[in-house]
Amino acid sequence: MLPWFYLLLATATETTFGITLFHSRGFTVFWPAVAAIVSGAATVVFLGLAMKHLPIGLAVGIWGGAATLLTFVYGIAAMGESMNPMRLASIALIVIGIFGLKLTTAS
C-alpha cells in the first residue's frame, strides 16, 4: 500500500511542478520558480520510493498519465484552455491507458 501512496504523492508533486513551472515564465518569476524546483525534487524522491516496489512501466505510466490528466484539468479550469472533442478524446485515451496498465500488471 505504501508504494501506491508514494506514487500518489509523486503524481501530485509532478502536477504541481508542471503548473508552477508554467507560472514561473521560464524561471523569471521568483516564487513559482522556487515552487517548481521544490516540487520537481519531491517528484524524483517520491517516484523513486514508489519504484522500489512497483514495476517501472506501471509506475512511470501511471505517474505520467495521471499528472498529465490533472494538469490538463487545471488548464481547462484555471487557464481557460479549450475543451474541444479531439482534446477530450485524447485525454480519455490516457485515462484508458492508466487503467489498462493497472489492470494488466501483477502487483
Question: The C-alpha cell of 9 is what?
Answer: 504523492
Question: What pTM does this model have?
Answer: 0.92
DSSP state letter for 80? -
pLDDT digit string (tens) for 59-98?
A: 999 999 999 999 999 999 999 999 999 999 999 999 999 9
DSSP state letter for 83? -
Domain containing residue 72: 2-103
Spatial distance between the Cα atoms of 28 and 26, rounded to a whole number of angstroms: 5
pLDDT digit string (tens) for 17-36?
A: 999 999 999 999 999 999 99
**Is 8's pLDDT higher than 90?**
yes
Reported as type and span, the H/E element at residue 74 is helix 56-79
pLDDT recorded at residue 107:
56
Number of independent structural domains in the chain: 1
